[in-house]
Amino acid sequence: MATKWVIKDKKKAIYWPSEKMKKKANMSDASIYKKALNNPKKFWSEKALEALDWSKKWNKVYESKPPFFKWFLGGKLNASYNCIDRHVENGNGDKEAIIWIPEPTNEKPVVLTYKDLLEKVSRFANVLKSFGVKKGDRVGIYLPMVSEVQIALLACARIGAVHGVVFSAFSAESLNDRLNDANAKVLITANGYYRKGKLLDLKKKADQGAKGSPVKKVIVIKRGEVKTKMSKGRDYWFHELMEKADPECKPAEMNSESPLFILYTSGTTGKPKGVIHDTGGYLTYAYWTSKWIFDLHDDDVFWCTADVGWITGHTYACYGPLACGATQVIYEGAPNYPDWSRFWKIVEENQVSVFYTAPTAIRMFAKQGVEFVKKHNLNSLRVLGSVGEPIDKDAWMWYFNHIGNKRCPIVDTWWQTETGGIQISALPGIGPFIPTVAGRPFPGTNFVILDESRKEVKKNEGGYLIQKPPFAPGMLRGVWGNPKRYEKTYFSDYGNKLYFTSDGAKYFDKNNIRVTGRVDDTMKVAGHRLTTGELEDAIATYEHVSECAVVPEPDKIRGQVPVAFVVLKGVKESEKITEDIIKQVIEEIGPTAKPKQIIFVNELPKTRSGKIMRRILKKLVINEPIGNTMTLQNPESIADLKKKTNYKRK
Ligand code: WT7
């Protein structure tokens, strides 16, 4: 009989850690919340020293010039040293750092020990140096989950270069935008990657993306036998460079506040914004959230299924677990290759003990049926995590019953690209674990839920999730090249001393928070953040589009999917135009953004001042009463819109 890590409250559908879990957990003392909140600066100061090796201690722990703030001022460290070297120096060089599982089942996993990682990261850091990359320079990374992914990130960190990862399924256009915005001179990519049994070409897209960008050198990882065109003087094979490179590279001493990376995320306007994360604060935060929320111990095998293209992949498939000296599983491919039991096969074969995935994946697995799960013994699992969007009760219960076999706590982790690490979640040794309730603000972070008039809401009343200072050390430090946008997006709705998350929330009880979802023009498609603005921009560039508006439609598996309302000019609607528009969106953003429906209408509903009333379109899509149309400039548009949205009821 496998260990029970969680027990059920007799009266309610609430779970608590078992005695075994409390004993095992890195943090089981609930007084930590109060202690940390009484003096967050002292708490983080102690925690930063405990977590990391600093080459020089800071002289000031926190400084705030609203809306900007800094942590560990004057402190010096190197992130790659903290993720690798110190573990080797402590005698853990032979410990497995990364177990990389290729998608094709006839290929063998690649195992990298901490010692291997040290050598490879050092070599690659020297390669980057030989291309003239210096402290503070930006390096573009356009990589799928190949076995070299962490090497690429950590090599940048080793020499103090700032990496900017672009999700490999994003289009060449998206890549080009980001390379330009960050002014990246070097790009790291791969020639191809496996997805659902097929070897796809990536280099072609990388070439298109690099064209017209500041990129001067492209380093290409060879993943498979795809025909690859290499441009002389610009493109170099990774393996050839690595062979010749010096295997030793001294880590650069960086300021705690030096940027570690930029990661682009969707903003309210079409142009995505480059969220900046620092070195010392981010790494301290990544370390403690990994240690306490995923409860990482020496014997754990952690698997975070996120792609490195997202913040989850940065913090929990690279920096956090590696800073903790943990062993991680990284999987290259699709969850359903060769069939829907692949994930569970990986869990069993590698004895994964902590597993972290997204609600959209859980719903997909649930739909396929439990027979795929039942084929495998999942007794190694101890903690389960969820991230990306609110997890509904059905998905939570399915995850709990069928993956955790009623033995494992589920940590429903709320956070954002901007927060750098998890900010609201239960801790496995403290609990409680409640379906649809994310949990408690992480020790040393401070949240309130306010209404529009800035008054704190009462239990079960809806409001807005707000973070209070001192802001957690993992928080973003700015928007690349655009401080005004930083202020406007996060620090204007509630003044420059409160961070507005753009999420709605409720107090479940005095400690625990239920996050209800975005309150801005953002949608979460299979956990990926997209804004109506960027989709609308992509559609509007199609020559025959006069105007358009995009709204989310609820979807059983993907959470939400985009639906576009389009007004054409000069042409009649046709299947060809629908296809062209969809193609355009895929080319400009990527397949994640593919609209489910293109609805051609005569007019969009507008206010007297000419603003599109997306609220009405949202209601039409979910077939709910649209409410008051008094303020519309063109109320006669409604009849046509109603007729066109009838597809829902067919
Ligand atoms: C938005 C941030 C966090 C890394 C991956 C997504 C939503 C995320 C939860 C959760 C409810 C959640 C929020 C947030 N979200 N996790 N556990 N419960 N909502 O990062 O793309 O920056 O998106 O995802 O709406 O604001 P992101």
The CATH number given to whatever domain includes residue 37 is: 3.40.50.12780
| pLDDT reported for residue 45 | 98
In a domain, 518, yes or no: no
User: Are 180 and 188 a contacting pair, CB within 8 Å?
Assistant: no
Distances (CA, A) of 3 to 10, 17, 440, 478: 19, 12, 26, 45
Question: Which residues of the chain carry a pLDDT beneath 70?
Answer: 1, 267-270, 647-650
413 CA to centre of ligand 1 in angstroms: 8
Closest approach atom of ligand 1 to CA 310: 5
Q: Is residue 269 classed exposed, middle or buried when 0-12, 13-18 and 19+ CB atoms within 10 A define those classes? A: middle
Same domain, 496 and 567: no
Pair 499, 530 in one domain: no
Q: Of 442, 524, 558, 592, which is best to mutate to test ligand 1, by the most ligand atoms within 8 angstroms of its C-beta?
A: 524
| Together in a domain, 174 and 294 | yes
Domain closes at, from 445, 473, 505: 505
Residues 184 and 60 in one domain: yes
User: Is residue 517 in some structural domain?
Assistant: no
Environment class of 628 (CB within 10 Å of its CB; exposed 0-12, middle 13-18, buried 19+): exposed
Do 256 and 320 have their domain in common?
A: yes
Please state, in angstroms and rounded to a whole number, the distance separating the CA atoms of residues 602 and 582.
20
Q: Is the CB of 415 under 6 A from ligand 1?
A: yes
Rounded CA gap, 630 and 508, in Å?
A: 36
Q: How far is the CA of 528 from the centre of ligand 1 (A)?
A: 9
Looking at residue 630, what is its pLDDT? 79
Q: Is 315's C-beta closer than 6 angstroms to any atom of ligand 1?
A: no
The residue among 576, 587, 585 whose CA lies nearest residue 548 is: 585
Residue 599, domain CATH: 3.30.300.30
Residues 6+ apart with CB under 8 A from 458: 507
Residue 511 lies in a domain: no
Q: What are the tens digits of pLDDT across the range 111-155?
A: 999 999 999 999 999 999 999 999 999 999 999 999 999 999 999
Instruction: Tell me if 565 is assigned to some domain.
Output: yes
Indicate whether residue 388 lines ligand 1 (CB < 6 A): yes
- State the closest ligand 1 atom to the C-alpha of 424, by its place in the atom list counted from 1: 17
Domain co-membership, 463 together with 545: no
C-beta of 645 in contact with ligand 1 (< 6 A): no
In a shared domain, residues 484 and 601: no
Q: Does residue 514's CB lie within 6 angstroms of at least one atom of ligand 1?
A: no
Q: Residue 272 contacts by C-beta under 8 Å, 6 or more apart in sequence?
A: 174, 177, 178, 264, 265, 266, 534
Q: Are residues 489 and 546 in the same domain?
A: no
Q: Which residue's CA lies nearest to atom 1 of ligand 1? A: 416
What is the number of structural domains in the chain? 2
Last residue of a domain, one of 472, 505, 538: 505
385 C-beta closer than 6 A to ligand 1: no
Does 526 sit in the ligand 1 pocket, CB within 6 Å?
no
Among protein residues, the one whose CA lies closest to atom 23 of ligand 1: 416
The alpha carbon of 357 and the centre of ligand 1 are apart by a number of angstroms equal to 12
Alpha-carbon distance 290 to 138, whole Å? 27
Residue 419: CB within 6 Å of ligand 1? no
Give, using CA atoms, the residue closest to atom 19 of ligand 1: 389
Residue 515 in domain? no
Q: Is the CB of 273 under 6 A from ligand 1?
A: no
What's 381's DSSP letter? -
380 in the same domain as 271: yes
Residues 308 and 407 in one domain: yes
Q: Is the CB of 203 under 6 A from ligand 1?
A: no
ω into 554 cis (within 30 of 0): no
Beta carbon of 489 within 6 Å of any ligand 1 atom: no
Task: Judge whether 49 lies within some domain.
Answer: yes
514 domain-assigned: no
Name the residue with the closest Cα to ligand 1, atom 21. 529
| Domain edge (last residue) among 475, 505, 535 | 505
Measure 20 CA to ligand 1 centroid, in angstroms.
31
Of all protein residues, whose CA lies closest to atom 7 belonging to ligand 1? 389
- Ligand 1 in contact with 167 (CB < 6 A)? no
pLDDT value, residue 650? 47
Q: If you measure from the C-alpha of residue 458 to the centroid of ligand 1, how many angstroms do you get, rounded to a whole number?
A: 23
Closest CA to 585 of 525, 522, 548, 539: 539
With respect to residue 43, please indicate whether it lies within any of the assigned structural domains.
Answer: yes
Q: How far is the CA of 610 from the centre of ligand 1 (A)?
A: 32
What are residue 547's DSSP bridge partners?
567
Residues 366 and 484 in one domain: yes
**Are residues 544 and 475 part of one domain?**
no
Q: Answer yes or no: is the C-beta of 416 below 6 A from any ligand 1 atom.
A: yes
pLDDT at 409: 98
Tell me which residue range forms the domain holding 626.
526-644
**Which among 387, 413, 520 is the best mutation to test ligand 1's pocket, defined by most ligand atoms within 8 Å of the CB?**
387
| One-character DSSP codes across 229-254 | ---TTTEEEHHHHHHHS-S--PPPPE
Please name the residue whose Cα sits nearest to atom 12 of ligand 1. 389
pTM: 0.94
Q: In what order do the strands lie in the sheet with 499-507?
A: 447-450, 463-467, 499-507, 513-518
Pocket flag, ligand 1, residue 504 (CB < 6 Å):
no
**CB distance 265 to ligand 1 below 6 Å:** yes
